[in-house]
Amino acid sequence: MNTTESAEFVERRACISCQSPSLRELSAGKFDEGAVGAFIAADPWGEDPTPFLRGRPWSYVACRDCELAFHRYILAPEWNERRFSRWMSQEAIEVFEKEYRTPANEFATATDYTAHVLRIERLTRELRGPDRVRLLDFGCGYGGFLAMCALYGFDAYGVDRSSAKRDNNRFSKVFAEIEEVAAMAPFHALTLFEVLEHLDDPHGLVQRLSELLAPGGVLVLETPDCSGVHGIETIEEYRKIHPLEHINGFTPETMARFAERLGFEPVARPTVYVTNDLERVAKTAAKGLLRPLATPTTQQYFRKR
């Protein structure tokens, strides 16, 4: 191995949502130093990335105009490809995912998926009349949400750029590129679960996807909530704004602004009940009544204007 080889980064000089050049630095460091260096060293990897990151800076910034926070330096495309193919080997990903694949988590995930299906069905009724819901899930991973949509009779399609995820998919209609599903447009609903935080250019991507969405169509966005996260000292902060992995840090406010700039307006999530616990029904109903006072989250529903 050539240890003098150093990973290349691209600098994002303007806001990735509103294009403002006015950025303020929230925190900064080196990839192989401090808490970030220790966390990266402790993560499971295929090929260890540390030698390639030696001395390289990271810098977490926020836009002075729209407040969106993001990492200024992101891996250059060829190095990001190396991250996907070599640093994050299939074996390393499995070690990482195993921790989350508990019966309780799988049950909670399936419950969440059903709730989304029910909300999307309801919010698209007027738009599609008697037709099936035509849905596109971008960054669909292993296709769990798509499989659930198909059970409910949706005409569902997925796009995922990771070949490992496409090769191990639970669902058949998954493609590598947006162009491959463009012929199925217009869609009634577009979902991006845990996707925006990973993208070099989230504005450009959602703009492209939004062209495939019918006017009045529904957009569902979900990311980690990075409210109050300004630096990387704890493992929770590292998981939220890991400088190689989660390169954009949304909050409820910046997510809403991001979508509004792209021509979407927020819609209230219809209240649905997917539970075998009576107490949760009561809690959900109370939350529905108190919605104006409820804490906003980074799981939001929008409609295309």
Q: Which is nearer to Zn ion, 66 or 149 (CB)?
A: 66
**Residue that has been written with the tokens 């957009």 in this structure:** 219
3 state DSSP class of 66: coil
Site string for Zn ion, 124-163 (x = CB under 5 A): ----------------------------------------
Please tell me the distance from the alpha carbon of residue 272 to that of residue 109, in angstroms, as a whole number: 15
At 9, give phi and psi (nearest 5°).
-120, 155
Of the candidates 40, 61, 62, 66, which one interacts with Zn ion according to CB under 5 A?
66
7 close to 53: Cβ distance less than 8 angstroms: yes
Quick one: how far is CA 43 from the chain centroid?
20
Q: How near is the Cβ of 19 to Zn ion at its closest, in Å?
A: 7
Q: How near is the Cβ of 67 to Zn ion at its closest, in Å?
A: 7
Interface segment toward Zn ion; rule CB under 5 A; list 66-74, 210-218, 238-246, 264-272:
66-74
Q: Which is nearer to Zn ion, 18 or 28 (CB)?
A: 18
DSSP string, 147-193: HHHHHTT-EEEEE---HHHHHT-S-S-EESSGGGTGGGPPEEEEEEE
Q: Which is nearer to Zn ion, 61 or 213 (CB)?
A: 61
Q: Does 229 bind Zn ion (CB under 5 A)?
A: no
200 close to 172: Cβ distance less than 8 angstroms: no
Number of residues that bind Zn ion (CB under 5 A): 7
* Tokens standing for residue 303: 């409609």
Interface segment toward Zn ion; rule CB under 5 A; list 56-64, 119-127, 135-143, 244-252:
56-64
- Per the DSSP assignment, residues forming a β-bridge with 279 are none
Q: How near is the Cβ of 65 to Zn ion at its closest, in Å?
A: 5
DSSP strands (E only) in the chain: 9-11, 23-30, 57-63, 69-71, 73-75, 134-138, 155-159, 174-175, 187-193, 213-222, 248-249, 264-267, 299-304
Site string for Zn ion, 15-44 (x = CB under 5 A): x-xx-x------------------------
Q: How near is the Cβ of 61 to Zn ion at its closest, in Å?
A: 10
Interface segment toward Zn ion; rule CB under 5 A; list 64-72, 147-155, 264-272, 291-299:
64-72
Of the candidates 43, 48, 65, 245, which one interacts with Zn ion according to CB under 5 A?
65
Contact set with Zn ion (CB under 5 A): 15, 17-18, 20, 63, 65-66
